[in-house]
Structure 1
Amino acid sequence: MKDTELLGLHHVTAMTDDAERNYKFFTEVLGMRLVKKTVNQDDIHTYHTFFADDKGSAGTDMTFFDFPNNPKAQHGTNAITRASFRVPSDAALDYYLKRFEEFGVKNEGIIDLFGHKALPFEESDGQRYQLVSDEKNKGVAGGTPWLHGPVPSEMAIYGLGPIEITVSYFEDFKIFLMQVYGMKVLEDGENYSILEMGEGGHGAQVILRKDETSQQERQGYGAVHHVSFRVKDSQAIRHWAEKYQTLHIPNSGWVDRFYFEALYARVGHILIEISTDGPGFATDEPYETLGESLSLPPFLEPEREMIENTIRPFDTKRP
């Protein structure tokens, strides 16, 4: 494997209408750790929260922009339609199914998803997710479950699973994933393809679905904003910036997000980010208190007082 190749999923970013409710859902119900509470670097008047494994490892984090004044999303085609989380076993799905019943979480029950057990569910704002069992999975390793979370570690979420993308221009998008991003087709069906990158497995898969009849999705809270794929380091992401330029693919250019480096390009309607594995979320906070205080990258520190007076506070300190 070349040092510049895509390694798998890095993070998925979605939109919420209530950062505090979303925080409670992810930490108290799903048992994922809040590893960073910061602001949207492109809109500093709103929160950007990161939920991940115990250490905030790349490939494990689901992040949220807090947009309380946005309209609710209208789900449809030409969108990222579902994020997934990995759990270690089929027994873990049984555990979460009972947990969802206890907490009143809307779900579809345990299903078969291309030969693996899965549990689709929704947050109260309509955001769609699924848990996917790794019992028969091979490929990219998972992370470390939150050691002090409410879910037993042998059952807990420990990484991102396949990202589901639905488009009307199925063949064109599939060819782009293969020819530009180097993905390989694992399985083809009548209206879907499963593609892999890097070492493959649930942490490196895209489920591409074909939908030519549904309405165009209207983004808003309760929908996914973008997906990010992992690369090793600065050298790798600069390679991708050069590749985009060579192929005349419009892109953001290299962006320093402090916790990682980023590069953005829109493929049809889908915003795809490429991100480096480091420096990581322990850059400005110790492991023990990750996510408990408002973190700001160095270039925003001079504006801390203004930011803290603008965004509505919510308590993320753990006992």
Structure 2
Amino acid sequence: MTTELLGIHHVTAMTDNAMRNYDFMTDVLGMRLVKKTVNQDDIQTYHTFFADDVGSPGTDMTFFDFPNNPKGIRGTNSISRTGLRVPDDAALEYYLERFKEFGVKNEGIKELFGKKVLPFEESDGQRYQLFSDENNEGVAPGTPWKNGPVPEDKAIYGLGPIEITVSYYDDFKQVLTSIYDMKPVIEEDDVTVFDVGDGGNGGQVILRKDETKQGQQGYGEVHHVSFRVADHNAIKAWEEKYNELGVGHSGNVDRFYFEALYARVGHILIELSTDGPGFMGDEPYETLGESLALPPMLEPKREQIEAQVRHFDTTR
């Protein structure tokens, strides 16, 4: 059995408004809503999944919509920025113009570790940056949304490097290398870039040292990051590994669309998720994300759930 991590699986953040967030992710960024479901641990709230054309692992940006959730406070000991991949430098120029058109706050095109990037924010403060895949190697990208508002040769087609900021930098660095077998590929003062799996933009973590004020989760902040493992056997192997190392964990959780295993490392919630079964088994390709999808264990509660969640229209 292997515990090899294959790359980034998904990032889950918190939004202040599921409808506004849907409009931003689809109409502005051009990512496809592949699943509109509920948080399986809080079934009165939405869990939305935005990804590539077919919901490939490594392309999912997902959101919890918690009513009355306070605004997050930026600070250390948090997942501080999510990366998204585009095909090349020309795609960054395209999005820069698109952001001007839609009034999206951004920092302009910059260079980071030899790559062109475009940092930007959603209106609730959620922080992202687009990474150009020009000359990139490593974890393969997904498939751009074929019927989306952004041309396929410019569109976001996967998650990029994930930035984590901590005050206990050396200790966290040791955890990433010794437990998760991440490989340092760039080391500078107070920052290390790690490869996960085959590395490249689809398999990197940027770890930064920050000893300023403590961050606080809330809307506009990231809830957790997940890394890819192959299958059920890999999840079980990780359970054994965590047990041997004395790492507290959730045990294997069947989310229907994938299996998951959670462990909190300091302040950072790290999930491991299987590549399958995926998002294509319970809805037609043509209408992915247009209706409320419930896994079989929640289907008997559909009437109760639909009466409690705030309806919003995602038909296209």
- TM-score, normalised with respect to structure 1: 0.98
On the 8 A contact 2:119/2:130 being kept in 1, the answer is yes
Deviations 1:41-80 (A, max 9, x none): 0000000000000000000000000013111001000000
Superposed CA offset, 1:229-286 (max 9, x none)? 0001111111001110111100000000000000000000000000000000012111
Alignment of 1:219-230 (within 5 A): 219-230=217-228
Residue identity in the other structure for 1:283: G
Equivalences for residues 83-102 of structure 1 within 5 A: 83-102=82-101
Distance in 1, matches of 2:76 and 2:309, equals: 33
Aligned to 1:67: 66
Following TM superposition, the consecutive aligned residue runs of length 4 or more in structure 1 with deviations greater than 2 angstroms are none
Q: How many residues align?
A: 316
Structure 2-normalised TM-score?
0.99
Distance 2:239 2:251 in 1: 6
Q: Aligned residue for 2:284?
A: 286
For residues 16-58 of structure 1, what are the alpha-carbon distances to aligned partners after superposition, in whole Å with 9 as ceiling and x for unaligned? 0100000000000000000000000000000000000000000
Any gaps of 5 or more consecutive residues in structure 1?
A: none
- Per-residue CA distance 1:5-26 (angstroms, 9 max, x = gap): 0000000000001000000000
Q: Which residue of 2 aligns with 1:232?
A: 230
Partner residue of 1:55?
A: 54
Distance 1:283 1:63 in 2: 18
Distance 2:159 2:2 in 1: 22
Counterpart of 2:181 in structure 1 is 182
Cα distance in 1 for residues equivalent to 2:281 and 2:68: 31
Match for residue 295 of structure 2? 297
| Aligned 8 A contact 1:197 1:205 in 2 | yes
Deviation at 1:3, TM superposition (A): 4.4
The answer to whether 1:155 aligns with 2:141 is no
Other structure's SS at 1:126 match = coil
1:177-231 per-position Cα deviation (integer Å, ceiling 9, x unaligned): 000001100000001000011111011100000001x210011000000000000
**Ranges in structure 2 where 5+ consecutive residues have no aligned partner:** none
The residue aligned with 2:262 is: 264
Select the residue among 246, 249, 263 that pairs with 2:247. Answer: 249
The question of whether the paired residues in 2 share the 8 Å contact of 1:50 and 1:62 is answered with yes
What percentage of aligned pairs have identical amino acids? 72
Shift of 1:4: 3.2
Q: Is the 8 A contact 1:260 1:279 kept in 2?
A: yes
Give the Cα separation in 2 of the matches to 1:274 and 1:11: 9
